[in-house]
């Protein structure tokens, strides 16, 4: 219910869209309705259908899925695969390129069974394949892919068992490539293929000199961890020729990073790889595939820049530049255009998942009660602090800020020495926070902001406590300071007048979000609404479909969240096609080698001894055991 003062407010959903940058980072898949709720713009067979996230939240709650929930949107998986394949098809047609495109989704980006099944199903019409970096991932690919025209790209270190499995895939008719990452793998590939009588499809990963920007810059350049240098590449050619397997060398691979922000770096890498391609063809290798690996970036912060959280190009521009660069290089040497392969994982699934959670509590850094008259027996330092508050104005903000800090510290020293009471110290803290709030409110009036006052808004920002774990659901925000778009999913037709950071449920100082996508770049606080008594307040963290689930850990034994996959139909109805209840406390205890039944029996013995000792009654014992048993079955997150 919107009250009359909110109706008169000039704030609108359009203002909210600008504040949170949703039109910039969402690629058009999310927006804000006139009612102030975040909507999903879901591609369907007959166009686009809009559904409110709050409607989905209501459906989740009716199905017993409490917050936090990881929401997967099947329509967006389908759309992202179509966008990538259709964009390459358009670029190939426009340039007259004679080869084709094949995608391969890296399983490591999101290994969840339902996600991989969706990618295989939606990608089948495009012959979209999978990339496997381990034996386990190869087994997933072999069991999931039905289309034998889809590629299976085997990266990572490969032992004889891995190679044998891949060769069996070749025997089944799959186009399964072994990409040689180190020279030590080559003898195993040769030996296993000869022993089984199955010819392998072989690729080689290059170690390019091209450097890129962003978090994953170490994946590129001479000191990159993976790939072969020029001398090692010649050794591969010679060893394959000696084993009469040079005709199996059909793919050239390179990978410059998971999120490449600058299109010029991508083009430079392609041009450098093409020089290797030309020389290897001259050496007699019948190459027919060039694999760019991953790197197709997404715009996490909405700035369309070369920051590590963004990119300065679109999917279509990426495809055009790749196709034109390869064509430009190879046409000069009359070399047949190869099949272009990319292992775009982040760009395929990041948009498809949203972490939803509710806010449990808020800490404010402001007076806890209105300031009235000073008590008669106040210490001189409290009186000085009060005076400092009363004289604050734009002309003396720096001086006032200094005085507030000085007298607050003096009052704390007096408390430590026992010279003022707890109540008087609390009064001093109230006056101090009132002063800081007043200084912060006047800072925007200054033409030049002193350095100390630039971060004042961050110092007095609220702390909103979210029902989730950063370490379980958003590990990249902690590990590599990845910025994810965060915003309320409702009340967006009301102006959010609180500045906040977000803390999670873990007992860890790193368990927080304090970097946010803003309208002019990264911000250290987020605009949020005041919490209303008796009402839930929901936030969403967007673009979390890549890497976050698999990388999550059990910090404080917070387990996997509830998960729901939905399909939005043309008529706006929602199919809840897949539901997984998150880890119970018993589940996470078993992960760290506790046996829940044994714990229950140990607690039963403790309770029974308390009965014998006369501390509790038998009825108390039964209630305690029931509560303990119910707790083992409970959700690891906050339950209402």
Measured CA to CA, the distance from residue 470 to residue 316 in angstroms comes to: 33
Greatest alpha-carbon pair distance for the chain in Å reads 99
Phi, psi dihedrals of residue 570, rounded to the nearest 5°: -60, -35
Q: Tell me if 491 sits within 8 A of 524, measured CB to CB.
A: no
pLDDT one-digit tens code per residue, 95-138: 999 999 999 999 999 999 999 999 999 999 999 999 999 999 99
Q: Tell me if 274 sits within 8 A of 324, measured CB to CB.
A: no
Question: How many residues in the chain?
Answer: 640
Measured CA to CA, the distance from residue 309 to residue 260 in angstroms comes to: 9
Q: Could you tell me how many helices (H) and strands (E) the chain has, helices first? A: 24, 25
The confidence score (pLDDT) of residue 214 equals: 63
Among 154, 248, 319, 507, the active-site one is: 507
Among residues 538, 438, 549, the alpha carbon closest in space to that of 489 is found at: 538
Among residues 349, 491, 575, 565, the alpha carbon closest in space to that of 54 is found at: 491
Q: Give the Å distances, CA to CA, from 228 to 222, 225, 271, 565.
A: 10, 10, 17, 41
Domains of the chain listed by start with CATH number: 99-349 (3.20.20.10), 380-457 (1.20.58.930), 586-633 (no CATH)
The alpha carbons of the chain give a radius of gyration, in whole angstroms, of 30
The confidence score (pLDDT) of residue 218 equals: 60
Task: Locate 351 and state its tokens.
Answer: 């948009």
Measured CA to CA, the distance from residue 226 to residue 254 in angstroms comes to: 9
Question: 23 Cβ partners below 8 Å, 6+ apart?
Answer: 17, 31, 302
Question: 568 Cβ partners below 8 Å, 6+ apart?
Answer: 40, 42, 44, 49, 51, 73, 75, 574, 575
The confidence score (pLDDT) of residue 217 equals: 57
Residues of the chain with pLDDT under 70: 1-9, 214-225
pLDDT one-digit tens code per residue, 213-256: 766 556 555 656 678 999 999 999 999 999 999 999 999 999 99
The confidence score (pLDDT) of residue 3 equals: 46
Helix (H, G, I), strand (E, B) or coil at 177: strand
Q: What is the DSSP secondary structure assignment for residue 559, as one 8-state letter?
A: -
- Is 507 marked active-site? yes
The confidence score (pLDDT) of residue 553 equals: 80
| E strand or H helix at 67 | none
SS3 of the chain: helix, strand, coil, percent, to 5: 45, 20, 35
Q: Give the Å distances, CA to CA, from 178 to 159, 193, 302.
A: 11, 11, 37
Q: Tell me if 509 sits within 8 A of 434, measured CB to CB.
A: no
Among residues 169, 82, 152, 92, the alpha carbon closest in space to that of 123 is found at: 82
The confidence score (pLDDT) of residue 381 equals: 95
Phi, psi dihedrals of residue 328, rounded to the nearest 5°: -60, -45
Task: Locate 292 and state its tokens.
Answer: 């760019």
Question: 166 Cβ partners below 8 Å, 6+ apart?
Answer: 138, 152, 154, 158, 176, 178, 200
> How would you write 491-508 as a 3-class SS string?
CCCCCCCEEEEEECCCCC
Strand 295-296, strand 259-260: pairing: parallel
Question: 592 Cβ partners below 8 Å, 6+ apart?
Answer: 554, 557
Measured CA to CA, the distance from residue 211 to residue 192 in angstroms comes to: 36
Helix (H, G, I), strand (E, B) or coil at 577: strand
Among residues 479, 473, 528, the alpha carbon closest in space to that of 506 is found at: 473
Could you tell me how far CA 476 lies from the centroid of its own chain? 6
List of E strands, 226-338: 249-253, 259-260, 289-291, 295-296
ω before 525 within 30° of 0 (cis)? no
Helix (H, G, I), strand (E, B) or coil at 203: strand
The confidence score (pLDDT) of residue 372 equals: 78
């Amino acid at each position: 219910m919107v009250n009359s003062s909110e109706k008169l407010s000039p704030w609108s959903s359009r203002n909210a869209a600008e504040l949170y940058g949703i039109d910039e980072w969402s690629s058009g898949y999310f927006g804000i309705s006139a009612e102030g709720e975040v909507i999903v713009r879901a591609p369907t067979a007959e166009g686009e259908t809009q559904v409110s996230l709050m409607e989905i939240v209501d459906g989740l709650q009716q199905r017993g899925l409490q917050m936090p929930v990881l929401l997967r949107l099947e329509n967006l998986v389908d759309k992202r695969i179509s966008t990538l394949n259709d964009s390459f098809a358009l670029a190939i047609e426009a340039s007259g390129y004679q080869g084709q495109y094949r995608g391969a989704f890296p399983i490591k980006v999101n290994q969840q069974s339902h996600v991989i099944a969706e990618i295989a199903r939606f990608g089948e019409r495009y012959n979209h394949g999978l990339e496997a970096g381990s034996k386990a991932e190869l087994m997933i690919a072999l069991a999931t892919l039905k289309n034998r025209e889809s590629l299976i790209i085997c990266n990572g270190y490969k032992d004889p068992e891995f190679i044998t499995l891949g060769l069996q895939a070749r025997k089944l008719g799959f186009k399964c490539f072994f990409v040689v990452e180190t020279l030590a793998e080559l003898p195993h590939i040769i030996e296993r293929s000869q022993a089984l009588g199955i010819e392998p499809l072989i690729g080689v990963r290059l170690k390019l000199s091209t450097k890129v920007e962003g978090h994953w810059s170490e994946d590129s350049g001479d000191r990159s961890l993976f790939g072969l240098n020029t001398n090692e590449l010649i050794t591969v050619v010679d060893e394959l020729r000696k084993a009469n397997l040079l005709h199996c060398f059909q793919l050239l691979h390179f990978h410059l990073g998971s999120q490449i922000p600058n299109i010029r770096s991508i083009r430079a890498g392609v041009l450098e790889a093409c020089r290797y391609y030309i020389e290897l063809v001259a050496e007699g290798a019948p190459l027919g595939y060039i694999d760019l690996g991953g790197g197709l970036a997404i715009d996490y912060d909405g700035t369309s820049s070369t920051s590590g959280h963004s990119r300065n190009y679109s999917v279509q521009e990426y495809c055009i530049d790749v196709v034109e660069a390869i064509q430009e290089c190879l046409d000069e040497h009359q070399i047949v255009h190869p099949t272009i392969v990319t292992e775009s994982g982040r760009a395929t699934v990041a948009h498809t998942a949203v972490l939803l959670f509710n806010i449990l509590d808020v800490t404010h850094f402001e007076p806890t009660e209105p300031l009235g008259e000073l008590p008669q027996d106040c210490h001189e330092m409290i009186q000085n602090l009060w005076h400092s508050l009363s004289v604050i104005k734009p002309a003396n903000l720096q001086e006032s800020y200094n005085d507030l800090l000085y007298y607050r510290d003096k009052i704390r020293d007096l408390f430590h020495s026992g010279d003022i009471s707890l109540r008087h110290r609390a009064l001093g803290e109230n006056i101090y926070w009132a002063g800081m709030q007043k200084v912060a409110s006047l800072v925007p009036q200054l033409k030049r902001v002193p350095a100390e006052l630039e971060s004042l808004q961050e110092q007095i920002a609220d702390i909103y406590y979210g029902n989730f774990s950063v370490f379980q659901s958003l590990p990249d925000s902690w590990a590599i300071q990845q910025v994810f778009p965060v915003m309320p999913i409702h009340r967006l037709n009301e102006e959010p007048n609180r500045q906040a950071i977000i803390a999670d449920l873990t007992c860890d100082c790193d368990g927080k979000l304090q970097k946010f996508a803003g309208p002019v770049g990264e911000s250290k606080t987020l605009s949020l609404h005041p919490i209303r008594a008796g009402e839930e307040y929901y936030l969403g963290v967007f673009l979390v479909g890549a890497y976050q689930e698999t990388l999550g850990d059990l910090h404080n034994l917070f387990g996997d969240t509830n998960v729901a996959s939905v399909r939005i139909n043309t008529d706006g109805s929602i199919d809840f096609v897949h539901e997984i209840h998150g880890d119970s406390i018993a589940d996470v205890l078993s992960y760290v080698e506790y046996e829940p039944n044994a714990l229950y029996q140990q607690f039963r013995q403790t309770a029974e001894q308390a009965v014998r000792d006369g501390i509790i009654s038998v009825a108390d014992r039964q209630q305690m055991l029931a509560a303990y048993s119910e707790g083992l079955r409970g959700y690891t997150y906050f339950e209402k």
